Structure 1
Amino acid sequence: MTLASDARIVRYPPEVEDRYVREGFWQPPTIAEHLHSIALEHPTTDAVVCGADSLTFAELDRASDQRAAGLNRLGLVPGGAVLLQVHNTVHTVVAWYALLKAGLVPVCTLPLHRGHEISEIARQTAPVAHLVAAADPRFDLVAFAFEQAAGVERTVLVSDGAASDPRAIELDHLGDDIDPAEARAFVEGVQAGLGMQSLAAFQLSGGTTGVPKVIPCLQAPYWHYGASLARAMGWGPGDRMAFMMPIVHNAGVIIGLQGPHSVGATLVLGVPDARTTVDLVVRTRATDLLLGPFAYDVALDDGLTAGGALRRVLFSGKKVPRTHVDALDARGVWAGQIFGMSEGLCLTTPLDHPLDARADSVGVPISSGDEVRLYEPGTEDEVVPGEVGELCTRGPYTLLGYYDSAEHNRRAFTADGFYRTGDLMAERTIAGVRCYTVEGRIKNMISRGGEKINTEEIELLLGSHPAISEAALVAMPDERLGERACAFVVTRKGAEIDLDAVRAHFERLGVAKYKWPERIEVLAEMPRVSQVGKIDRIRLRRLAEDLAPQART
């Protein structure tokens, strides 16, 4: 069975599909063919600019056609999943669309992921190939890919450089010898066999029960996601979106790729380094900029507006300081916020919202088809406007179920199909407009620079250390990243533990470094909620807040 017909994917009922098509939310054909249409309409417009490299829409369309045909020549047939561990480059953008055009399914993992994560994600998705960066100064991804492929049929592809292992296949020029017309005919044939609910990609959840759960992103819903954001932001041809976070993360695909590309706007692709942001924006004359928590202070740099092109800045990942919004406003730059998730729902502050609403809220949903309810946690009772409740949602791009997770899905959705996000929000009126404010999370999850750390997963890994008898992980506030992971542990009798020992343990287990605890506190015993005996996480979070200024970085 290919993923295209996999019954483990929860799809929208026929009557819901009919309604979304009738009301204009879903539009055929596929994501790949939408790109082709944009390329025909804006052939000479830059689709992507990255450093000294750039591609127009026509060049991107032609190159991704040829890569797709080349992948098919390798025997990679439509429906197969492909793990991605790549960096922010023009070649990665080509690869994304090439996989979609070949009918293959990108699995959006991160270069930071290691064996602990990749082995489980691969178990769930059964990939036929693994695409990795040819060179990474921190880790040999090529050797890692072959290690992960041991004992299974899996093609190892490399991008952005020559293969260090002769068994690997270089993707960047694959299919260059195929006539463009022949490649286009191949792509059209593949796409003709796909429907609006065919699987396009696998994204990963932040998760609260182990390694990330797999999110099936379907063709029409996923395109609607990006196109809705583009409309909400007023993007169009001539706009240039500067994006520095991982491009094959959900935020990258929606805010950097499919959002701008849906309207003929340009992706200006950078790297996750706040020090390069000002130069990137000014040099490329970017009109729009997304700032994650690690780069919020860039908004205070007067040099950011030196080029005179920047018009809009979106903040994402944590509450934005009012000083940053005011600093941009004083220089004539619109500032707002965005809140989104791989599972679906996205909110952003409308362009015409007053400054106070943009500074103090995440705005409203990007699609008129989005349905939002705030429930008393653990119930299906709505709270009144102004009160805090759990954000629950359904709509034309929100998932109806995680992949192959029937039992979990029964808990993750309400009786009438609303996804329980675990986020706490309130509906408020600020400066005369209705909007939503983020008030915290129900789920035990840490957001470190926009990446989610599942506390239960890390607690289990900590507990596997022979010196540790019990562990609890909580968020420790951090000005730059929003949150860092602070571990409180109780050791076994006579045992000692420190941060270096924990890090060595996590390295042996092959855990991605962004998940490693960044402070360890040894307790004689865990604080408990006396009535039920559960760990008192509220007290631990308060302790972590007190420790934050001393946190080891």
Structure 2
Amino acid sequence: MISDLRIDEERKRMYYEKGYWGTSTLSDIWSSQSKKYAQHVYVKDTEGHSYTYGEIDQAAARVATWMKEVGVENGDIVTFQLPKWAEFAIIYVACLKVGAVMHPYAVRNTDQDLIETVNSVGTAVYIAPTFYHNRNYEMEYRAICGSMPNLKGALFVDRIASTIPGEVSLSCVLTNCEPLDEPSPSKSDEAACILSTSGSTGRPKQAVFTHNTILFSERAYIAPMGFTEDDIVWMPSPLNHATGFYHGLIATMLFGGCAILQECYSPESAVKLIREEGCTWSHGATPFIYDLLSYLDEHGGSLPSMRFYICGGAPVPSSMIEHASRYGILLSESYGSTESCPHVYVPLDKCLEWNGAWSGIPYEGIEVRVVDANHNEVPRGAQGEEASRGPHQFVGYLNEPERTDRALDSDGWFYSGDLCYMDEEGRIRISGRMKEIIIRGGENISCNEVDQQLDGCPGVGEHATIGAPDKRMGERICTFLVPKPGAKPTVESITEYLAEKGTPKRVWPERIEYIDRIPYTPTGKVQRFKLAAELLLRMREERNER
């Protein structure tokens, strides 16, 4: 049971009095919705798997029985490393039924990442595919399971049949286990989910959420949008993030809608999928909608069912808003982080009027302020750090009280590290970042992590990484470097080196800039703002030459 939850008792009383929090858990809400919409399709994926609310409920009840049999108790953590498959919903609902803490985990993370994470969070049960994208998860698990002593069991989703005797498959559980028929033991102020976030340091943090924080967050999120049970979300984002899991599946469950999960993304297949399924909305990083609009420009046609797309991860340029409007799609910017997700949005009826000038206003019940280095509020119109507070926020980083103390103050304010300013109407505009991260396609990438991987690269002397502005991805990875004498390292030679040493592709530089020296502060910190200014100058010169 996770006990070190940062829930201020005074604010807790206020949230209950205002009706922001209550005694119902996600399991309670699921039970009600799955009965009400039993025959309604809840989730479909692009591999042809489709489940109604009732089918998910029955399958999850059988998996819950297996979890109980292997010893899962209320508050135990279940780590599931699954692709964008419909079975993800079976697993998360099964966790709710036994009171387990859901811990969705990135499918691309390595077996060594898994060992470190499972041991640090104290995972009780691990769930993964038998085989996915040329990777045998069963064999990897068999090789490392001895290094994860807290595990009580493992379950493998066998779209491809198991080849390893003795491992438990989902199809076996669905065939042989009876549905669990007892109420969930969890309480609304207990931990319900853990989401991993790398933030600015590169070392993963495990943000903890209660049933109440998730329910408030997603109810606030859907309230201004006017959703009905006929709404269908196109979801190309991974399910181990708040966007895919909270907004794609949990928010959809709250209004009885349907989620279409796209496993392998391409703009051509996405356009086809949206048309075939009649998807009415989506939420994701800007590259997805950028690609869709570009595809329609090139190939013609439209997306008549798509009403709006909620953009997260980067500011939305006015040109993209205007571009989407020509196809009848509203682009609504959404701002937040894993820990405070999302807490600012652009109302649909303001998308065209504000036209990218503002990142948005807070959802009802959520406070936002702009502060200086001492966390004192600055005047309206002045730039400062964005801070938020409300019943939607995470309640601490698992087993890391010092990190929690740095992120949350005693009054419950979460300091984002992002720069912004606020006008007299309470609208904010995100104007930059204090963190040394790159937001590439909505994903946070640590500059320091990239730099560390480049240490020792042939031909590379001093180096420092920043984000290069990019129309499609928001930012791309750009490394400034001082070449060693006689060397001329290129993107190709550097990525070849990184590939050989097994560095994840997500941190490979995409642009290389030579420089005579890396600028430092007197205390030895890289002055990345100077590199950013130099990069903008060089990019401007490139455009002029073209």
| CA apart distance, 1:262 | 0.8
- The question of whether the paired residues in 1 share the 8 Å contact of 2:111 and 2:141 is answered with no
Q: 168-177 vs 474-483, which deviates more?
A: 168-177
* SS of alignment partner, residue 534 of structure 1: coil
| CA apart distance, 1:322 | 2.3
* SS of alignment partner, residue 423 of structure 2: strand
Is structure 2 residue 535 aligned with structure 1 residue 535? no
- The question of whether the paired residues in 1 share the 8 Å contact of 2:189 and 2:211 is answered with yes
Q: Distance in 2 between matches of 1:233 and 1:305?
A: 26
- The question of whether the paired residues in 2 share the 8 Å contact of 1:68 and 1:99 is answered with yes
| CA apart distance, 1:259 | 0.9
Q: Distance in 2 between matches of 1:505 and 1:128?
A: 38
Q: 86-95 vs 151-160, which deviates more?
A: 151-160
Is structure 2 residue 324 aligned with structure 1 residue 340? no
* SS of alignment partner, residue 64 of structure 1: helix
The correspondence for 2:117, drawn from 102, 117, 121, is: 121
Segments of 5+ residues of structure 1 without an aligned counterpart are none
For these two proteins, the number of residue pairs brought into alignment is 532
Q: Distance in 1 between matches of 2:352 and 2:58?
A: 43
Match of 2:429 in 1: 437
* SS of alignment partner, residue 147 of structure 2: coil
Q: CA RMSD in A?
A: 2.9
User: What's the CA shift string for 1:393-424, capped at 9, x where partnerless?
Assistant: 11102124222222223322335331111111
* SS of alignment partner, residue 176 of structure 1: helix
The correspondence for 1:422, drawn from 403, 417, 423, is: 417
Q: 1:72 to 1:351 in 2, by over 3 A?
A: same
Which amino acid letter does the alignment assign opposite residue 40 of structure 2?
T
- The question of whether the paired residues in 2 share the 8 Å contact of 1:244 and 1:269 is answered with yes
User: What's the CA shift string for 1:490-521, capped at 9, x where partnerless?
Assistant: 57788886555654664566543212333445
Q: 1:332 to 1:511 in 2, by over 3 A?
A: same
Is structure 2 residue 287 aligned with structure 1 residue 289? no
Q: 1:425 to 1:167 in 2, by over 3 A?
A: farther
- The question of whether the paired residues in 2 share the 8 Å contact of 1:210 and 1:457 is answered with yes
Q: 1:502 to 1:169 in 2, by over 3 A?
A: farther
Q: 1:308 to 1:500 in 2, by over 3 A?
A: closer
TM-score, normalised via structure 2 length: 0.88
Q: 1:332 to 1:116 in 2, by over 3 A?
A: same
* SS of alignment partner, residue 27 of structure 1: coil
Q: Distance in 2 between matches of 1:96 and 1:120?
A: 22
| CA apart distance, 1:138 | 5.0
TM-score, normalised via structure 1 length: 0.87
Match of 1:221 in 2: 213
User: What's the CA shift string for 1:431-456, capped at 9, x where partnerless?
Assistant: xx642222111100111111111122
Match of 1:40 in 2: 35
Match of 2:173 in 1: 174
Match of 1:459 in 2: 451
Is structure 2 residue 464 aligned with structure 1 residue 472? yes
Identity of aligned residues (%): 23
Q: 1:513 to 1:184 in 2, by over 3 A?
A: farther
Match of 1:97 in 2: 93
| CA apart distance, 1:214 | 0.9
Q: 1:336 to 1:304 in 2, by over 3 A?
A: farther
* SS of alignment partner, residue 123 of structure 2: coil
Which amino acid letter does the alignment assign opposite residue 44 of structure 2?
V
Q: Distance in 2 between matches of 1:27 and 1:73?
A: 31
Which amino acid letter does the alignment assign opposite residue 379 of structure 1?
N
Match of 1:157 in 2: 155
Match of 2:8 in 1: 13
Match of 1:299 in 2: 293
Q: 54-63 vs 255-264, which deviates more?
A: 54-63
Q: 1:136 to 1:521 in 2, by over 3 A?
A: farther
Is structure 2 residue 362 aligned with structure 1 residue 369? no
| CA apart distance, 1:148 | 4.0
Q: Distance in 2 between matches of 1:270 and 1:296?
A: 14
Map 1:372-387 → 2, pairs under 5 A: 372-376=368-372, 378-387=373-382
Map 1:68-217 → 2, pairs under 5 A: 68-115=64-111, 117-137=113-133, 139-153=135-149, 154=151, 155-159=153-157, 160-180=159-179, 183-185=180-182, 188=183, 191=184, 193-217=185-209
User: What's the CA shift string for 1:444-484, capped at 9, x where partnerless?
Assistant: 01111111111223333333668766432211222222212
